[in-house]
Each structure stands twice: as C-alpha cells, then as structure tokens.
C-alpha cells in the first residue's frame, strides 16, 4: 500500500520557503534558509528513531535516561543540490553517515544518468534518508531510490523541499515502500521540467551558477 506523502506543515518552514522562492534571495541567504528548513525537516523525519535506556551520573544522582539506540541514519545526498539539505541534516544528526549519488539530467529528454555513487560500507545496518530539494519529474528520485534499495537499507525516507504532483506519482508508482516528506506540493511541471511556481534551479541558486 502506498504511504501518504507527509507535507511538513509548520509556520517556520512555510515562511522560510517563501523567502527561498523569491528570485531576489541571493545564494548566501538561499543556502542558509535551505539549511534551516532542513533542520526542521530532520527533526520531523527522525521522530521515530529508536531509544534505549542508559544510566548517566548527573551532578546530583544516577538516572536512567533515554538515548538513541543503534546506528544513526545514513543521509544520501543527490548531487549537487542535495548538498544544500545535507548540511542542515548533519547539524541535527552529527553522527549520521553520508552517501552521495551523482545524477545528471539531459535537458532535452529529461532522462537521468549516474556519474557517481559512494555509500558507507555499513549502510545496510542503517535507515537511509535521501535528500534532494526538488522532486520534479521523479526520474532522479526513482533512480536514487533504486540504487539505495540495492544496498539493502532498512527504512527509506525521501526528503525534498518542493514536490510536483507528477514526481510524487512517478515515485509512488515505482516504489510504494518509500516515505516521501516535503515542505510543499506545488502546482505542476512546466515544459522544461521545472516545478511551478517552484524556486528555479535549486543547484544554480545554491551555488550562484547559471
């Protein structure tokens, strides 16, 4: 059964996302805002991390307290725009492992091809969170999810800032077991595969390229 998309509905995220959408937001502010939105998303996505009771000595007494148990998640960044979100996730989850997938899309066919893939050796013992700001056609998302699932990860979450209905449909049609988390579902894709109203090219806006 398909897992419903989780649209993270929070006033701070909505406000920051509106600033990110503005064409007058410069790369330095854009990067900071994406990092801040990613903190808030990381907080939501990790609500179900397992805990175990451990004993600590406070300055006053010994106490049984909850701490995270097992290996931290692996954050998988889809290059290059995923790196904007990766930074925010790592600030909230400093012990996370990191993987990278390099995917490039042909501007005329929108087909994707992989040029880089590097995951931690123990990724199968972790949950994975794929980060990529824009779920547009879904071609990159489907390719990234396929490659990460080949690594036998436990749970798999896909986190993006903006999702187009077309991209959600494509990813859900290919993989029902993936949780999709987004800050917004936008209206549609245009003829160039850009999300409308969107925020433009996330990689270019992060890194000041055109």
Binding site for ligand URA (CB under 6 A): 81, 134, 136, 193-195, 198, 201-203
CB of 137 to ligand URA, least distance (A): 8
What stretches of 27-151 adopt beta strand conformation (E)? 51-57, 62-68, 74-79, 97-105, 112-118, 128-131, 134-135
Helix (H, G, I), strand (E, B) or coil at 70: coil
How far apart, in whole angstroms, are the C-alpha atoms of residue 92 and residue 191? 37
Nearer to ligand URA by C-beta: 72 or 207? Answer: 207
Nearer to ligand URA, 8 or 136 (CB): 136
Rg of the chain, C-alpha, whole Å: 18
d(CA 128, CA 43): 15
* Closest distance to ligand URA from the beta carbon of 106 (Å): 13
Q: Which of 41, 40, 48, 98 is nearest to 70 (CA)?
A: 48
- Nearest-approach distance from CB 187 to ligand URA, in angstroms: 12
CB of 59 to ligand URA, least distance (A): 50
Helix and strand element counts for the chain (H, E): 6, 12
Beta carbon of residue 107, minimum distance to ligand URA (angstroms, whole number): 11
By beta-carbon proximity to ligand URA, the closer residue of 136 and 151 is: 136
Residue closer to ligand URA by CB (options 99, 198) is: 198
Residue number with CB closer to ligand URA (136 or 170): 136
């Amino acid at each position: 059964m398909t897992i419903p998309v989780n649209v993270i509905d929070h006033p701070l995220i909505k406000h920051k996302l509106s600033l990110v959408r503005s064409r007058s937001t410069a790369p330095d502010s854009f990067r900071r805002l994406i990092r801040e939105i990613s903190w808030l998303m990381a907080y939501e996505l990790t609500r179900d991390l397992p805990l175990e009771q451990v004993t600590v000595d406070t300055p006053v007494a010994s106490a049984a307290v909850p701490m995270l148990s097992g290996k931290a998640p692996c954050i998988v960044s889809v290059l290059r725009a995923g790196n904007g979100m990766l930074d925010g996730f790592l600030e909230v989850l400093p012990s996370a492992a990191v993987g990278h997938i390099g995917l490039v899309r042909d501007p005329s066919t929108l087909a994707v091809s992989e040029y880089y893939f590097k995951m931690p050796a123990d990724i199968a013992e972790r949950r994975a969170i794929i980060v990529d700001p824009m779920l547009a056609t879904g071609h990159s998302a489907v390719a990234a999810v396929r490659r990460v699932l080949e690594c036998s990860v436990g749970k798999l979450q896909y986190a993006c800032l903006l999702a187009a209905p077309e991209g959600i449909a494509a990813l859900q049609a290919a993989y029902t077991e993936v949780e999709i988390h987004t800050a917004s579902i936008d209206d549609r894709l245009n003829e160039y595969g850009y999300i409308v109203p969107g925020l433009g090219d996330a990689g270019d806006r992060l890194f000041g390229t055109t």
